[in-house]
Chain A
């Protein structure tokens, strides 16, 4: 590119242990350009934006902003140099005011003889909010009293305080309503018109095409392609993201619900830690997707179904036996498996061998004549390592050294080793590379064919739509909607029931 660019990234890399999250990634963004950044989860787009915003430290490569080398070690420094990030997660601090959030780390500006003049901070914050059309949020309110969308608006205001040259918007729109989105688009236009650039990360293809001037597609940490306005077609983008034509199916090929009549799990008025009130039935051969925002109670529901937290007032009954689940041990005896969303701390023993991890729930079965023999455990573990193609040195290797995807496979091996007929999966593909992700989907289909049942709790809408026979959407610890599998479900439709 001949003309001068506002942002230039060259050969940027970042690894987490053995996983290369971003590798040799280069891109250039012009003044006044809104660039979309798209890719599957784990493709490295969030990591890249964190590197640019100083949240993470890059392993190699260079950034240039406005023609000058740009190398920051914290988000505060990045903000000073005109790069602001609006994160995917809620990043406001609850127990302080809106103004204090907006001017976090910038309090010094309002300092006078060592004291902070809050009055002046509130006035300044009020002006920032007004310039964004957010007069209805008072700078003196505690953030705790705001709803999710208003908190997001506060974060936008925080990012816009110093009129950044580069604004990064990381999957923010997912959680927003129509009005919220309009505010966001307004801010994006504002940056664009003042000659700045915007990096816009979203999963919503229509939104992307509408808002962005160009789009860069990432896969497995690498640059796949950059398309400009007229080339931006959703189908083309999708196939570039996945790395092959979509006719070859990543998700399930069928478009209608398909499961047996027999109920295998009956859940009545389950009441976990967070007073969820949920009832449903799970059938043999069914994949039941549960979706919602991360604090909607679905993760707590998953734990309650497995007998964790021990406060369940409702009942979880395994049929046809009619056995109730009160503890994880009950669940395991009824051949239920559970993949925690916090894999490394809850589902696995990292400083322990693959063998011990796989054998732990089935020790009683491996015991012969009162003796558990290491040799037999090894055979058992090796069998599952082979079945699931877990990449490792041998069954004695400690899990610490495996990649995220292979660790997840060990969790699966552990439950398949127990011949689980009901699998509760909480965020099964979080932080996992695309290859393992696909093999997890194929495994779910395999379970379905064997008349086993899967409960898939997920924050990823494409996965819910792509794999579930039924999708149950939750909000505020209640079920707001159950949708049967059909070809016409859109992400927007699901989001409506989530917020």
Chain B
């Protein structure tokens, strides 16, 4: 019975864990190199790396936003259409004030996330069904809201779409969300829910509240994303935000996030994944692949990563 208790984590195991948890970084490097060869050296230029980063900007925000939901074993299928919906409504008031536009974007997406959270925790609907339904409802509004065209915002805001603004927004979300996930009980409790809901309840986790909070955290960033999209495109149409949730899901999985959530969820996976997917998209474009082919490749990668993950998980026992 008197087994010796080791206080410290053995350094070899620590290194193994470090490698395992940062596999996505290795994958990112491999992808960069592969495209470097395929595009005969056009991938790894300072300018292109810069554009990978900024093309990945929206994806990074989106991934950080849903990290909480993913950790507790959920997902947000409404994200893309929420962004479109919020952007179209926001665009309509942008002429009055750009700040009013931001406020509308935020209010609309947070309201949708509250509705999602309510359906999930109070009406006890399965997340997948509720998400799909809400997404369809929102999607139905996009066409009429856009008057079958583009709702533009005043041209003078073109100057707002610059690197400095993006970096500030990214840093603010990174610091706040990263802090909440890594250093407060919010992140740990959400991971606990993903690892075992009943056990989390019996350890004093208010699971309903945490689930609603996860949706709201996702909703806030969706609002920011809607606003940033308006600044980038100087308007919105019925395609705005389309399929964004799918890209976010692919990116997170690429980054190493387990689909079922739980203890293995890490905040940095959001950044890894977004950059990796951005690099893949960028490389494919440089290589000359069109949008359809890009989607096929992304879906293929998504399935492959999940399958490899599942095989590894099965191989491990005890």
Q: Could you tell me which A residues sit within 8 Å of B by CB distance?
A: 17-18, 306, 308, 327-329, 331-333, 338, 340, 345-353, 356, 359-361, 363-364, 367, 370-373, 378, 382, 385-386, 389-396, 398, 400-401, 414, 435-436, 439
**Is B3 a contact partner of A352 (Cβ separation < 8 A)?**
no
Q: Contact check: which of B5, B185, B263 meets A372 at CB < 8 Å?
A: B185
Give complex CA distance A308, B203 in Å. Answer: 11
Residues of chain A contacted by B196 (CB below 8 angstroms): 345, 348-352
**Is B201 a contact partner of A308 (Cβ separation < 8 A)?**
yes
Residues of chain B contacted by A359 (CB below 8 angstroms): 188
Within 8 A of A (CB), among B263-283: 263-264
**Is B183 a contact partner of A371 (Cβ separation < 8 A)?**
yes
B230 → chain A, closest Cβ, in Å?
34
Give complex CA distance A363, B264 in Å. Answer: 18
Q: Could you write out 12 A-B pairs with CB less than 8 Å apart?
A: A308-B202, A331-B204, A348-B199, A351-B196, A351-B264, A360-B203, A370-B183, A372-B188, A386-B5, A393-B10, A394-B8, A396-B17
Residues of chain A contacted by B144 (CB below 8 angstroms): none
Whether B9 is near chain A, meaning CB under 8 Å from some CB there, is yes
Q: How many A-B residue pairs have CB under 8 A?
A: 111
Whether B206 is near chain A, meaning CB under 8 Å from some CB there, is yes
Given that A349-B196, A396-B9 are contacting pairs, would A329 and B204 also be in contact in the complex, using a CB cutoff of 8 Å? yes
Q: Could you tell me which B residues sit within 8 Å of A by CB distance?
A: 1-3, 5-10, 13, 17, 183-185, 188-189, 191-192, 195-196, 198-206, 262-264, 318
Give complex CA distance A386, B8 in Å. Answer: 13
**Is B318 a contact partner of A351 (Cβ separation < 8 A)?**
no
Residues of chain B contacted by A386 (CB below 8 angstroms): 5
Give complex CA distance A313, B192 in Å. Answer: 29
Residues of chain B contacted by A308 (CB below 8 angstroms): 201-202
Residues of chain B contacted by A349 (CB below 8 angstroms): 192, 195-196, 199-200, 262-263
Q: Contact check: which of B1, B5, B204 meets A361 at CB < 8 Å?
A: B204
Give complex CA distance A306, B201 in Å. Answer: 11
**Is B183 a contact partner of A346 (Cβ separation < 8 A)?**
no
Given that A347-B199, A348-B196, A349-B200 are contacting pairs, would A364 and B318 also be in contact in the complex, using a CB cutoff of 8 Å? no
Give complex CA distance A370, B186 in Å. Answer: 11
Residues of chain B contacted by A306 (CB below 8 angstroms): 202
Give complex CA distance A411, B61 in Å. Answer: 38
Give complex CA distance A391, B201 in Å. Answer: 26
Q: Contact check: which of A332, A340, A356, A367 meets B184 at CB < 8 Å?
A: A367
Residues of chain A contacted by B189 (CB below 8 angstroms): 360, 363
Counting chain A CB atoms within 10 Å of each CB, the highest count among B185, B189, B262 belongs to B185
Counting chain A CB atoms within 10 Å of each CB, the highest count among B6, B13, B264 belongs to B6
Q: Contact check: which of B1, B9, B206 meets A329 at CB < 8 Å?
A: B206
Residues of chain A contacted by B206 (CB below 8 angstroms): 327, 329
Q: Contact check: which of B5, B192, B198 meets A356 at CB < 8 Å?
A: B192
A165 → chain B, closest Cβ, in Å?
39
Residues of chain B contacted by A436 (CB below 8 angstroms): 1
Residues of chain A contacted by B200 (CB below 8 angstroms): 349, 360
**Is A352 a contact partner of B195 (Cβ separation < 8 A)?**
yes
**Is A389 a contact partner of B3 (Cβ separation < 8 A)?**
yes
**Is B262 a contact partner of A351 (Cβ separation < 8 A)?**
yes
Give complex CA distance A352, B17 in Å. Answer: 14
Given that A349-B199, A370-B184 are contacting pairs, would A390 and B192 also be in contact in the complex, using a CB cutoff of 8 Å? no
**Is B183 a contact partner of A17 (Cβ separation < 8 A)?**
no
Given that A389-B2, A439-B1 are contacting pairs, would A347 and B188 also be in contact in the complex, using a CB cutoff of 8 Å? no
Closest to A353 in B: B263
Given that A361-B204, A401-B318 are contacting pairs, would A356 and B188 also be in contact in the complex, using a CB cutoff of 8 Å? yes
**Is A394 a contact partner of B202 (Cβ separation < 8 A)?**
no
Residues of chain B contacted by A17 (CB below 8 angstroms): 318
B interface SS class = loop
**Is A389 a contact partner of B5 (Cβ separation < 8 A)?**
yes
**Is B262 a contact partner of A352 (Cβ separation < 8 A)?**
yes
Counting chain B CB atoms within 10 Å of each CB, the highest count among A346, A350, A400 belongs to A346
Give complex CA distance A345, B199 in Å. Answer: 7
**Is B204 a contact partner of A328 (Cβ separation < 8 A)?**
yes
Give complex CA distance A385, B203 in Å. Answer: 18
A296 → chain B, closest Cβ, in Å?
22
Given that A328-B201, A349-B195 are contacting pairs, would A367 and B185 also be in contact in the complex, using a CB cutoff of 8 Å? yes
Closest to A393 in B: B6
Residues of chain A contacted by B203 (CB below 8 angstroms): 328, 332, 360-361, 414
Residues of chain A contacted by B3 (CB below 8 angstroms): 389, 391-392
Residues of chain A contacted by B264 (CB below 8 angstroms): 351
A386 → chain B, closest Cβ, in Å?
5
Residues of chain B contacted by A393 (CB below 8 angstroms): 6, 10
Closest to B205 in A: A360
Residues of chain A contacted by B10 (CB below 8 angstroms): 393-394
Residues of chain B contacted by A345 (CB below 8 angstroms): 196, 198-199
Residues of chain B contacted by A385 (CB below 8 angstroms): 5
Residues of chain B contacted by A372 (CB below 8 angstroms): 183-185, 188
A327-B206, A382-B7 known; 15 new pairs, CB 8 Å cut-off, are A18-B318, A328-B203, A329-B204, A346-B199, A348-B199, A349-B195, A349-B263, A356-B191, A360-B189, A360-B204, A367-B184, A371-B184, A385-B5, A394-B7, A436-B1
Residues of chain B contacted by A361 (CB below 8 angstroms): 203-204
Residues of chain A contacted by B191 (CB below 8 angstroms): 352, 356
**Is A340 a contact partner of B183 (Cβ separation < 8 A)?**
no
B15 → chain A, closest Cβ, in Å?
13
Residues of chain A contacted by B204 (CB below 8 angstroms): 328-329, 331-333, 360-361
Give complex CA distance A378, B264 in Å. Answer: 17
Give complex CA distance A333, B3 in Å. Answer: 33
Given that A392-B5, A435-B1 are contacting pairs, would A340 and B202 also be in contact in the complex, using a CB cutoff of 8 Å? yes
**Is B192 a contact partner of A352 (Cβ separation < 8 A)?**
yes
Give complex CA distance A394, B183 in Å. Answer: 22
Closest to A349 in B: B195
**Is A394 a contact partner of B9 (Cβ separation < 8 A)?**
yes
**Is B5 a contact partner of A382 (Cβ separation < 8 A)?**
yes
Residues of chain A contacted by B188 (CB below 8 angstroms): 356, 359-360, 363, 372
